[in-house]
Homo-oligomer: A and B are copies of this chain.
Amino acid sequence: MTNTNDLLTRGVKEIVVKKNLEKALVSRKRLRVKLGLDPNIPDLHLGHAFNLRKLRAFQDLGHTAVLIIGDYTATIGDPSGKDKSREALDATITRANGKLFLEQIFKILDQSKTEVRSNSEWFSKMNFLEILDLASKISMEHILSHETFRQRISRHQPFFLHETFYPLMQGYDSVMVRADIELGALEQKFNLLTGRRLQRAFGQKEQDVIMTDYLLGLDGKEKMSKSLGNFISLRDSATEMFGKIMSIPDSAICHYFEMCTDMSESEIKEFSKQIKAGEGKAVKIKLAHQIIKIYHSAGKASQAEQEFEAVFSQNQIPDKIYEHSFGAKKISIIGALIESGMIKSRSEARRLIEQGGVKIDGEKVSDENTVVNLSRSKVLQVGKRRFLRITK
């Protein structure tokens, strides 16, 4: 992915200003490329990894990666695309999460070529007058041009004054690190452009911004996110990653190749044909290998495949198994066995669990009070040969 073409096209939705950026990239100047991540959660997931890998590609071209841990911005939370206000997070939580981020980030970035900054570094030192001065650089006309804010107002949805500060703070980060380029999701467009505005107000050259697509979650439908539970954490073990990747629907496989691997467009086209020819499972195994080798190693990927096969394939999960939806996010294991029709009575369910005859995703259920999280589909197994894919 280190050729310039791929860099500015793969997973990229919009660039401002493209001509400037192209000129800068051929100028041989060492550029400061900024990416901000808000530690409002402890885990980074594959969705975050896309821009981190884009940033790594800039590093490989000799540019400086400037990674902002948004421990102050995380306390507010980016209002972009949200239809309500979020409760403010305590700064001690965001600081703790920020520390957890680092080990995950350096699975992707080259630590020796990365400048890591927390935005508490400058925001914690600002007093009221300095904050008012910062606020005086941004017109309300600009603030109210934010689509999210406009929608909140017109729909009478909750919208509080502190939220207008989020774009300002993300923008001020660009001033503080003198960013030449900022990477961000398309939905952050307003914040990214506010950075350009503030850099201009502070007499700096405006950054160019690369706005990227988002990664679909394991369900292949919604955006990958912690709150939807449809994510692969960068902290997941190789085995967990393997299992999760094997659970994505065939329709999302090529999207994952595009967003999460270095496979070329022509290779991905080839995979697409194989999936259509019914070889979805085989292609998914290749996808799992590609992804796992980035966060663990090729060896761990093979090991994870063997484990997976040992549990599932040797248990002879048929390629096609029936599905049952519960219409709920969670269900008790006994409820799942009875409602799905696999077992007739609660006492039989309890006895089977006690005897070790019930498995979820190949793992024995030992506690009859187990609650099954249905945020992603799971394979429920009774005895050796009865399988059912259960979903919410």
Contact = CB atoms under 8 A, between A and B. Distances in A.
Contacts of A162: 132-136
A138 interface: yes
Range, interface on chain A: 35 or more
A121 to B, nearest CB: 12
A228 interface: no
Contact of A133 (B88, B129, B134, B158): B88
Interface stretch (A140-148, A176-184, A311-319): A140-148
Nearest to A90: B129
A308 interface: no
Contacts of A131: 128, 131
A190 interface: no
A202 interface: no
Contacts of A124: 127-128
B160 A88 contact: no
Interface string A158-196: 111111110010000000000000000000000000000
A145 to B, nearest CB: 11
B91 A135 contact: no
A112 interface: no
A135 B160 contact: yes
Given A123-B128, A127-B127, 18 more contacts: A75-B129, A85-B136, A88-B133, A124-B127, A124-B128, A126-B127, A126-B128, A133-B162, A135-B164, A135-B165, A136-B161, A137-B160, A138-B161, A139-B160, A140-B160, A140-B161, A140-B163, A141-B153
Interface of A: 72, 75-76, 85, 88, 91, 123-124, 126-129, 131-141, 143-144, 149, 152-153, 156, 158-165, 168
